[in-house]
Amino acid sequence: MFQPEMESMGRDALERLQLARLRTQLARVYVNVPLYRRKFDDAGFRPEQLETLDDLRRVPFTVKDDMRSAYPYGMFAVPMRDIVRVHSSSGTTGQITVVGYTKGDLDRWADLMARTYACAGATADDVIQVTYGYGLFTGGLGAHYGSERLGSVTIPISGGNTARQVQVLKDFGVTVLACTPSYALLIAETAADMGIDVRSLPLRVGVFGAEPWSEAMRAQIEEKMGITAIDIYGLSEVMGPGVASECVHKNGLHVFEDHFLIEILDPQTLEPVPDGETGEVAFTTLTKEGIPVIRYRTRDISRIIPGRCACGRTFRRMERVTGRTDDMLIIRGVNVYPSQIEQVLMGIAGVAPHYQVVLTKKGSMDAVEVHVEVSPEISFDEIRTLEALQRTVSGAIASVLAVSVKVKLVEPKSIQRSEGKAKRVLDMRGEGAKS
Ligand code: DLL
């Protein structure tokens, strides 16, 4: 553990620390951020009324639209002269939002990312290739400073130029790869095309996140690269990567609860649900200075995994994020997440782990097509083989998801690859549609 005194502290001590930090945080945002003062006043809540952690239920939520309406700096809780860095959210679903960090924030972030690598089993002896994008995206610089804080050799290559990624992976003796899981697959595929067997390289760990991925995809990456693949989670509004991370037991992501309070909300009532139940994840930052967020609704779906982890960390674990409420497809009344389709596809021999869900309109009806690449070893000219494979895929989706969708098999490498977050849903339903 990178900070064992925090990561394995007793739950009682942790809750006392959380309460003290929460009180300070609420008082600070009430005084310094007009949006919070207005929200608290409207709800009849004063920070000094908070007596227990449970009282957080009385505090109003923060949503993405609050951040958008405060664009760019309206939610900062310190004067601009104390801000030393800004990042912004990826903005795939609308206008971008800006987040600001003080020196103290950057210092804590580096610690939390060092914790993340240590969770994955990395040490100062590792050589870490940081392939998350550098820039306004939090992935690159977050992963970079964490790697330096741990004392590892840091390779700040950023995303893109996949052939060079493979070359560096091979020549620089890289032992840890940090990138999105979909990009890890592309790196593996490119290495194979270059005649390089990643399994024979010193690479042993991947710290993958920034997009939903499935257990089956983990198995594929681990097999292709001969590594342990660890799921890491975070979001810009809360900090960036370094909010939660799996440990080597790979059974849920430890939430760094000394810095972030997690709640799982019932999607209908928005009341917090007990551990074990699934819902929307909300976070409250406990130590952020630049832009603290209070009960921020992430739209990510997860649950708390009850029980202790064998690694000795006392932080509770959240289950891997299976999807977002705004990514959910409703196909003839059935709720479907792209990652569920992925899970099904990965279990079928003959199809490659590259797919896209395409939404179109037929008259007034929404139509859903799943485009799946066939594996390179399947000949695209053998009609009968393809037909049989198509039936297998549609049948598997229908039986697992309880809804039938049209499946289109496409040629190897025809689905666009991504060097960052993969685009799993292509919305072709017309003007103004989200894509
Ligand atoms: O993606 C931060 C990050 C960078 C996390 C590198 C991990 C590694 P944003 O661009 O603000 O920040 O996107 C945040 O990405 O709300 C989730 O929907 C999704 N996401 C992040 N990590 C995971 C993960 C970064 N491990 C949004 N599994 C979040 C599933 C993830 N989804």
Cα distances (angstroms) measured from residue 363 to each of 77, 367, 430:
50, 9, 12
Q: What share of the chain is helix, strand, coil (3-state, %, to 5)?
A: 35, 25, 40
Q: For ligand 1, which residues put their CB under 6 angstroms from it? A: 89-90, 132, 138-139, 209-212, 231-236, 240-241, 298, 300, 321, 324
DSSP 73-99: TTT-SS-GGGEEEEEE---TTSS--EE
Strands 176-179 and 406-410: unpaired
Lowest mean per-residue pLDDT among 78-92, 161-175, 188-202, 330-344: 330-344
Ligand 1 mean position to 41 CA, how many Å? Answer: 32
Residue-averaged pLDDT of the chain: 93
**Residue type at 383 in one-letter notation:** I
Lowest mean per-residue pLDDT among 174-188, 204-218, 355-369: 355-369
Which pLDDT tens digit goes with each residue over 216-249?
Answer: 999 999 999 999 999 999 999 999 999 999 999 9
Residue nearest to ligand 1 atom 15, measured at CA: 210
C-alpha 398: how far from chain center = 27
Q: Which of 231, 243, 172 is nearest to 206 (CA)?
A: 231
Which pLDDT tens digit goes with each residue over 254-293?
Answer: 999 999 999 999 999 999 999 999 999 999 999 999 999 9
Ligand 1 mean position to 323 CA, how many Å? Answer: 11
pLDDT at 433: 44
Q: For residue 209, which atom of ligand 1 is closest to its CA?
A: 26
pLDDT at 434: 39
Span 2-27, average pLDDT: 98
Residue nearest to ligand 1 atom 4, measured at CA: 139
pLDDT at 382: 86
Q: For residue 400, what pLDDT band results from cuts at 50, 70 and 90?
A: confident
Collapsing DSSP to helix, strand or coil, 166 comes out as helix
| Ramachandran angles phi, psi of 393, nearest 5° | -65, -50
The CA radius of gyration of the chain, in Å to the nearest whole number, is 22
Residue 93 has pLDDT above 60, yes or no: no
Lowest mean per-residue pLDDT among 84-93, 189-198, 293-302: 84-93
Counting ligand 1 atoms within 8 A of each CB, the residue from 235, 328, 339 with the most, and so the one to mutate, is 235
Rounded distance between C-alpha atoms, residue 296 and residue 292, angstroms:
10
Residue reference for tokens 């485009």: 371
Which pLDDT tens digit goes with each residue over 100-156?
Answer: 999 999 999 999 999 999 999 999 999 999 999 999 999 999 999 999 999 999 999
CB-count exposure of residue 274 (10 Å: 0-12, 13-18, 19+): exposed
Strands 127-130 and 176-179: parallel
Q: For residue 432, what pLDDT band results from cuts at 50, 70 and 90?
A: very low
Which pLDDT tens digit goes with each residue over 403-428?
Answer: 888 999 999 999 998 888 888 888 88
Cα distances (angstroms) measured from residue 337 to each of 212, 425, 435:
10, 10, 15
Ligand 1 mean position to 251 CA, how many Å? Answer: 18
Residue 217 sits at the vertex; the CA angle it makes with 211 and 223, to the nearest 5 degrees, is 130
0.85 exceeded by pTM: yes
Q: Which of 306, 308, 414, 307 is nearest to 356 (CA)?
A: 414
Q: Which of 23, 42, 60, 25 is nearest to 295 (CA)?
A: 60
pLDDT at 163: 97
Ligand 1 mean position to 328 CA, how many Å? Answer: 16
Span 338-350, average pLDDT: 88
pLDDT at 365: 75
Ligand 1 mean position to 53 CA, how many Å? Answer: 26
Ligand 1 mean position to 152 CA, how many Å? Answer: 23
Residue 94 has pLDDT above 80, yes or no: no
Span 339-357, average pLDDT: 89
Residue nearest to ligand 1 atom 12, measured at CA: 235
Which pLDDT tens digit goes with each residue over 350-382?
Answer: 998 899 999 888 777 778 899 999 998 888 888
Cα distances (angstroms) measured from residue 76 to each of 36, 80, 302, 374:
11, 8, 28, 49
pLDDT at 435: 35
Residue 33 has pLDDT above 50, yes or no: yes
pLDDT at 90: 62
Ligand 1 mean position to 187 CA, how many Å? Answer: 20
Ligand 1 mean position to 8 CA, how many Å? Answer: 25
Q: For residue 322, what pLDDT band results from cuts at 50, 70 and 90?
A: confident
Residue 178 forms beta bridges with which residues?
Answer: 130, 207
Span 332-344, average pLDDT: 83
Q: For residue 90, which atom of ligand 1 is closest to its CA?
A: 10
Are residues 284 and 257 in contact, defined by beta-carbon separation less than 8 angstroms? no
Residue 210 has pLDDT above 80, yes or no: yes
Rounded distance between C-alpha atoms, residue 17 and residue 25, angstroms:
12
Rounded distance between C-alpha atoms, residue 28 and residue 242, angstroms:
23
Q: For residue 300, which atom of ligand 1 is closest to its CA?
A: 18
DSSP 180-227: -HHHHHHHHHHHHHTT--GGGSS--EEEEESS---HHHHHHHHHHHTS
Residue 208 has pLDDT above 90, yes or no: yes
pLDDT at 368: 85
Span 28-44, average pLDDT: 97
pLDDT at 329: 81
